[in-house]
Amino acid sequence: MTLRKLSALALLVLLLTGMLAACAPKEETGPVTIQIYYPVAVDAPIAALFNGYIEKFQEENPNITVEAVYSGGYGDVKTAIQTTVDGGGEPPALAVMLATDLYDLVNAGYIRSLDDYIAADEDGEAYMQDFIASFMENSYYDGKTWSIPFQRSAVLMYYNADLFAEAGLEPPDSWAAWGEAGQALTQKDGDEVTRWGIEFPSGWPYWLFQPLAIGNGQNIIGAGDAEVYFDDPKVIEAVQFYIDLSEKYGAMPAGVQSIWGQAPTDLASGQTAMIVHSSGSLNTLLEQADFEVGVMPLPGKAAGTYASVPGGGNLYLFDNIDQAKQDAAWKFIRFLSEPERAADFSIQSGYFASCKGAYETEAMKTYMAAHPQVAQARVALDVGGAEFSVQNLGEVRNIFHNYLQQAYNGELSPAEAMAAAQAEAETALEAFK
């Protein structure tokens, strides 16, 4: 056989091999199993929702198995993961944890940046721009994106609108009006209070306190990741206002109120006229109350001003796990945060939908038409300040909690408590300045 014929034969073999390879089925990624740890912080069927979304996701991605692991509250999720990692175990691929946990998670090396996935996504830029801006504030650090908003909330004031109408009262638009309304709506039988004007849970106090400080013109944190303003005169004045609601107006129980889970029930059952609580409680109140539920941000000090602060959890992708698990986890993040899913999760759970597109879905439009309070609650996102998040968050937050509660209980004056909190927090943050 001549060299020319050999070359032609070789070329034919190569062509046939290429054709056969092109016709052969593409090799698929092998099966992968990922876990997502999540908390339950509201009275909603979170576990059932996760299971439903997982079932749908696995239908679309048959090679990915997702296991949802309920791990208690937000703090329990973080502790469970820390315990696993510190013990040499592998973390879950995903977790829903507080947006404010960001610095601690990055410093510990637990999570990975999402920027590579966002850049590789053909719709990555539009996807990120659709998230509500205030929910993204705790997603960025050191020029990178670390988390995706998921079950997000904000501080609201709920009130019994029927009681306000019967008493000829308008919803309060200032601290003074709030105290006076609470005073007017408090009922007594002799010395026994039969209905409080206001209940203000303070067993986990920083989050619900922040709108008081913001409403007086000074958040308790600054723009940097190691700035706190606990001893600012406006913050001290906000602490005093909380105390005044009891001491001056007689509108709410004195001291620390460890009634987080009880407060919505108290409002729905008529034991109080107003509560300060999470937007995540809206669905429960609408279901339980036999009166018109009013919803608004917290009144600020000056007439016509209002304040709130966002809260809740984000989706974090963990580092130091197989690349295949990370890739699968990113797919599940994208799936969970699609507008249709975000709308459904909001409707079913009471949390805010995390992206603007969710509010354009037919399901959400129909729901909001039937429940105008959902739109009223969204106003809180327009008057919200940044949530309490700093370096060494656990220690600094505990310092603030301790002294804030001492002020609430009358063990220290507001000025004394906040001065001590500022001094100890400065020491705890010194290494990060």
- State residue 15's pLDDT score: 41
- State residue 41's pLDDT score: 81
- Please write the tens of the pLDDT for every residue from 173-200: 999 999 999 999 999 999 999 999 999 9
**371 three-state secondary structure:** coil
Residue 194 backbone dihedrals phi, psi, to 5 degrees: -100, -20
- Write b or e for each residue in 117-138: b if 16 or more Cβ atoms lie within 10 A of its Cβ, otherwise e: bbeeeeeeeebbebbbebbbbb
- State residue 6's pLDDT score: 38
Q: How far apart are CA 356 and CA 225, in angstroms?
A: 28
Residues of the chain short of pLDDT 70, as ranges, are: 1-29
Whole-structure pTM value: 0.86
Residue 385: count of CB within 10 angstroms of its CB: 20
Q: Which two tokens stand for residue 249?
A: 């107006």
Closest-CA residue to 356 (of 126, 102, 140, 99): 126
Euclidean distance between the first and the last CA atom of the chain, given in angstroms as a whole number: 80
Residues with Cβ within 8 Å of 416's Cβ and at least 6 positions away in sequence, in order, are 407
Domains 32-153+311-382 and 154-309+386-432 are alike in CATH topology: yes
CATH architecture of 154-309+386-432: 3-Layer(aba) Sandwich (3.40)
Residues with Cβ within 8 Å of 111's Cβ and at least 6 positions away in sequence, in order, are 105, 146, 147, 316, 317, 318, 319
Q: What DSSP letter does each residue of 143-188 carry, written as one string?
A: TEE-EEEEEEEEEEEEEEHHHHHHTT-PPP-SHHHHHHHHHHH-EE
Report, in this order, helix, strand and coil percent for the chain, each rounded to 5.
50, 20, 30
Closest-CA residue to 177 (of 237, 126, 251): 251
Q: How far apart are CA 261 and CA 334, in angstroms?
A: 32
CATH architecture of 32-153+311-382: 3-Layer(aba) Sandwich (3.40)
Domain segments of the chain as ranges: 32-153+311-382, 154-309+386-432
Q: Which two tokens stand for residue 75?
A: 């703090």
- State residue 29's pLDDT score: 57
Say if residues 351 and 151 touch (Cβ distance below 8 Å).
yes
Which residues partner with 308 through β-bridges? 384
Region of residue 198 (left: phi > 0; alpha: psi -120 to 50; beta: else): beta
Which residues partner with 302 through β-bridges? none
- Write b or e for each residue in 146-175: b if 16 or more Cβ atoms lie within 10 A of its Cβ, otherwise e: bbbbbbbbbbbbbbbbbbbeeeebebbbbb
Of all residues in the chain, what percent carry a pLDDT higher than 70? 93
Please report how many Cα atoms fall inside a 13 Å half-sphere around the Cα of residue 234, on the Cβ side: 17
Sign of the alpha-carbon dihedral angle for 31, 32, 33, 38:
negative
Q: How far apart are CA 274 and CA 377, in angstroms?
A: 15
Say if residues 352 and 381 touch (Cβ distance below 8 Å).
yes
Residues with Cβ within 8 Å of 339's Cβ and at least 6 positions away in sequence, in order, are 130, 353, 355, 357, 358, 360, 361
* Structure-token match 């205030």, residue found: 134
Q: How many residues does the chain have?
A: 433
Q: Which two tokens stand for residue 235?
A: 């913050």
- State residue 43's pLDDT score: 74
Q: How far apart are CA 169 and CA 251, in angstroms?
A: 15
Q: How far apart are CA 132 and CA 35, in angstroms?
A: 27
- Write b or e for each residue in 236-272: b if 16 or more Cβ atoms lie within 10 A of its Cβ, otherwise e: bbbbbbbbebbeebbbbbeebbebbeebbbbbbebbb
